[in-house]
Amino acid sequence: MYLSIVPLEVFLSESFPYKGVLLDIEGTTTPVTFVYDVLFPYARRAMQGYLEAHWDAPGFQELKQQILANIAEINAGAAGEGAPEVDAAASGEALRAAVMEHLKWQMSKDQKNSPLKALQGRMWRAGYEDGELNAPVYADVVEALSAWQAQGTPVYIYSSGSVPAQILLFKYSEHGDLGGYLSGYFDTKTGPKKEADSYTKICEEVGVEPAAMLFVTDNIDEAKAADRAGLKVAVAKRPGNAPIEVEHGFDVIETFGPISPA
């Protein structure tokens, strides 16, 4: 592994050559507490009503099959240790109830499975649109987004949350609609966040050389994967983030000040 470390003082200079910025959400642009103490409890409360209302709806059938297939895959492997059983031969209320218990179990393990994340995003939509949910984004992030836009540097999001959930979070932020600052969104449908190939795909899709893309995340395994793909990397250290207990050599930033052109 090579570390594409950019000395912090270079971040401070306006000559820092990045041509694009890729941002994680939880623990980076937004406090982890919003996801664990607000979004996840909201999804747990809303899940039974949402599944009852949509279980047989045409627009839910594709996602329902993805959820069922993902549950079967989880329960067939090591990730399913301790998971509730789901009898695929069951139907109606019995199957729906078993699926709900498994989805809540996945959330209790903070599993980032794409079907779960897609369902969460659908449930959160109602909360954002009726005003119950309002997403915190750090003020230093908003300042940096504005400066990057003024500088012509595109900013993209790469999060385990589904793309619709990402769009909603920045649209319904505590600072108002921040969507105008963002040029694109990527979720785990592009690929796992701990695999280098996912970052290669993102850079290819947006047309930014990996070495000219700055990725910021709170997760060291994501940082290492992006580094392996040749991106510039900074690790976000925000209140409430899990401590990083391994030596890594990446620059650590407590605000976006050091990476903002402002």
Ligand X SMILES: CSCCC(=O)C(=O)COP(=O)(O)O
Binding residues (CB under 5 A) for Mg ion: these are 24, 26-27, 218
Q: 127 touches which of Mg ion, ligand X, none (CB within 5 to 8 A by kind)? A: none
- Of 71 and 168, the one with the shorter C-beta distance to ligand X is 168
- Of 34 and 261, the one with the shorter C-beta distance to ligand X is 34
Q: 173 touches which of Mg ion, ligand X, none (CB within 5 to 8 A by kind)? A: none
Q: How many beta carbons lie within 10 A of that of residue 11, not counting itself?
A: 20
- Of 27 and 127, the one with the shorter C-beta distance to Mg ion is 27
Which residues within the stretch 54-73 sit at the binding site for ligand X (CB under 6 A)? none
Q: 169 touches which of ligand X, Mg ion, none (CB within 5 to 8 A by kind)? A: ligand X
We find the least distance from the C-beta atom of residue 164 to Mg ion, in angstroms, to be 18
- Of 193 and 261, the one with the shorter C-beta distance to ligand X is 193
Q: Kindly report the three-state secondary structure assignment for every residue of the chain.
A: CCCCCCCHHHHHCCCCCCCEEEECCECCCECHHHHHHHHHHHHHHHHHHHHHHHCCCHHHHHHHHHHHHHHHHHHHCHHHCCCCCCCCCCCHHHHHHHHHHHHHHHHHCCCCCHHHHHHHHHHHHHHHHCCCCCECCCHHHHHHHHHHHHHCCCEEEECCCCHHHHHHHHHCECCECCHHHCCEEECCCCCCCCCHHHHHHHHHHHCCCHHHEEEEECCHHHHHHHHHCCCEEEEECCCCCCCCCCCCCCEEECCCHHHCCC
We find the least distance from the C-beta atom of residue 204 to Mg ion, in angstroms, to be 23
We find the least distance from the C-beta atom of residue 160 to ligand X, in angstroms, to be 3
Which residues within the stretch 185-224 sit at the binding site for ligand X (CB under 6 A)? 193
We find the least distance from the C-beta atom of residue 116 to ligand X, in angstroms, to be 9
Q: In whole angstroms, give the CA distance from residue 64 to residue 103.
A: 12
> Which of 80, 115, 154, 161 is the binder for ligand X (CB under 6 A)?
161
Q: In whole angstroms, give the CA distance from residue 258 to residue 262.
A: 9
> Which of 38, 39, 144, 233 is the binder for ligand X (CB under 6 A)?
39
Interface pattern 77-116 for ligand X (x via CB under 6 A): -----------------------------------x----
Of 85-93, 94-102, 157-165, 225-233, the segment contacting ligand X by CB under 6 A is 157-165
> Which of 159, 173, 200, 260 is the binder for ligand X (CB under 6 A)?
159
